Chain A
Amino acid sequence: EVQLVESGGGLVQPGGSLRLSCSASGFTFSSYAMNWVRQTPGKGLEYVSAISGNGGSTYYADSVKGRFTISRDNSKNTLYLQMSSLRAEDTAVYYCVKRAATSGPGHFDYWGQGTLVTVSS
């Protein structure tokens, strides 16, 4: 059974940093691109970042480029999102999401339960 478990969310002040983790199990982690998607009541679902199976290729939404860094440790089956220079508009539930295909674009077949990040003074 595929499981994705996020951790690391919480309250942080504007300008601060936070690192999210996602522990994966139930599939060959290194074979799949992994993604972060966030959700806010105002903007809905937003595709934030992605990383290829071997970590060699990454994607960032313009809204987080230069502030967020995605990485993975395939030996630990863990995905990370290092967030810095956080802004109020980064407040959201962050989901760790598995892409269905082992390569190329495509839909998301498994989602974690989400972790809430609140940026506020």
Chain B
Amino acid sequence: EIVLTQSPGTLSLSPGERATLSCRASQSVSSSYLAWYQQKPGQAPRLLIYGASSRATGIPDRFSGSGSGTDFTLTISRLEPEDFAVYYCQQSGSSPWTFGQGTKVEIK
């Protein structure tokens, strides 16, 4: 099983700042099968990024994804108030498909 480790656990930032979230895999993951999701309290996860770097429909361009192999990054260039949430990475290249434990982006 591929274990996805996200860091940091919590990121405390102010609106307008840049957020950099890391997802490290225990084995290599095909970039085609690495996705990022955003979850707000009381809501289901929402797809942000797929294929490591492609934005999902309707996702603002302040969200970007990068990486390959075992190291992937989600960057939010300038935090908006609505961006404070929990972010998860997920791989679907190797069974069982797995999720990271999440990074919470909170208001400083």
Contacts and interface: CB of A to CB of B under 8 A. Distances in A.
B46 A111 contact: yes
Interface residues of A, number: 19
Given A45-B88, A100-B50, A106-B50, A111 B45 contact: yes
Interface stretch (B19-27, B76-84, B92-100): B92-100
Nearest to A95: B44
A47 B45 contact: no
A53 interface: no
Contact of B96 (A47, A112, A114): A47
A27 interface: no
A78 B50 CA distance: 26
Contacts of B100: 44
Contacts of B90: 45, 107-108
Given A95-B44, A111-B45, A112-B44, A105 B99 contact: no
Contacts of A114: 44
Interface of B: 32-33, 35, 37, 43-47, 50-51, 56, 88, 90, 92-93, 95-102
12 contacts: A44-B102, A46-B99, A47-B97, A47-B98, A47-B99, A61-B96, A100-B47, A105-B33, A107-B47, A108-B35, A108-B45, A109-B50
